[in-house]
Amino acid sequence: PAAPAPRRPGLTEFVGTAIGDTIGLVIANVDPKLHAAMGLDAKYRSIGILSGRVGAGPHIMAVDEAVKATNTEVISIELPRDTKGGAGHGSLILLGAEEVSDARRAIEVALKDLARTFGDVYANDAGHIELQYTARASLACQKAFNAPVGRAFGLCVGAPAGIGVQMVDAAVKSADVDLIGLASPAKGTSFSNEVIGFFSGDAGAVRQAIITAREVGCRLLGSLGAEPASLGTPYI
């Protein structure tokens, strides 16, 4: 779903909105009671918040770029079971910063990058598939997916979940990559109807695995309904 034209709510904490019913926010000085309830590290006075109804992979990949580009750290990544009746997750990601300007800049970068990271999400009425790829994983991918920092990393998602099993099998058969993780409805997801494969390795191999998964996933998802359509512009 495209983001509505942002209506400014007139709060300094508001940063912006983006695709996926995503809102970006900052808090310059987190109240001590909230700070304690969230178990935040004392060094973070300021936090950035990226929160959406639709999408988890796109948000984590966008934050991965944001933390590379700014003086912020990933505090937490939580994945509600959402997508507004779809088969997947939404996301709540908190970033910590010593200065609110850093938190704001990180959220701005992430909101802008979502237009890219939704590019290889394909959906029809029956479900969705998602592909993500980075030549150099950073700290958000490490925290969320146990991705080795600095190496190429990719993931593939299929929903309904059985499509994801096929995508992962095709991906690991197509290129010499490490399968560093596997998530399914009862293991590693929030009961979403997805199977997700996580891949690390040489850039060319990871990219090849992801492209193979995309080809298989689109064809299988298409058997359940309309031709799956990208939610943006494919980037992989």
* Shorter beta-carbon distance to a copy of itself: residue 149 or 224: 224
Work out how close the CB of 96 gets to a copy of itself at its nearest, in angstroms, rounded to a whole number: 13
Applying CB under 8 A, does 172 fall inside the site for a copy of itself?
Answer: yes
- Kindly write down the DSSP assignment for every residue of the chain, as one continuous string: -PPPPPPP-S-TTEEEEETTTEEEEEESS--HHHHHHHT--TT--EEEEEEESS-SHHHHHHHHHHHHHSS-EEEEEE--B-STTSSSB-EEEEEEESSHHHHHHHHHHHHHHHHHHTTTEEEETTEEEEEEEESS--HHHHHHH-PPTTSEEEEEEEESHHHHHHHHHHHHHHS--EEEEEEBTTBBSSS-S-EEEEEEE-HHHHHHHHHHHHHHHHHHHHTTSSPPEESS----
Under rule CB under 8 A, residue 87 binds a copy of itself = yes
Q: Which of 60, 74, 94, 213 binds a copy of itself (CB under 8 A)?
A: 94
Q: How many whole angstroms separate alpha carbon 206 and alpha carbon 131? A: 11
Minimum distance from CB of 167 to a copy of itself (Å)?
Answer: 10
End-to-end CA distance of the chain: 21
**Cα gap 11→6, rounded to integer Å:** 13
Considering beta carbons, is residue 185 or 235 the nearer one to a copy of itself? 185
User: To the nearest whole angstrom, how small is the minimum distance from the Cβ of residue 234 to a copy of itself?
Assistant: 19
Residues 199-228 that bind a copy of itself (CB under 8 A): 216, 219-220, 222-225
By CB under 8 A, name the one of 81, 99, 136, 146 that touches a copy of itself: 81
- Cβ closest to a copy of itself, residue 13 vs residue 99: 13
Residues 3-32 that bind a copy of itself (CB under 8 A): 3-4, 6-11, 13-14, 17, 21-25, 27, 30-31
Among 169, 203, 232, 235, binds a copy of itself (CB under 8 A): 169
Q: Among 97, 106, 110, 168, which residue interacts with a copy of itself (rule: CB under 8 A)?
A: 168
How many residues interact with a copy of itself (rule CB under 8 A)? 77
Which among 69, 70, 51, 72 has a CA at the least distance from the CA of 60?
A: 51
Please report whether residue 115 would count as binding a copy of itself according to CB under 8 A. Answer: no
Minimum Å gap between C-beta 102 and a copy of itself is 18
* Piece of the chain touching a copy of itself by CB under 8 A; list 112-120, 129-137, 139-147, 174-182: 174-182
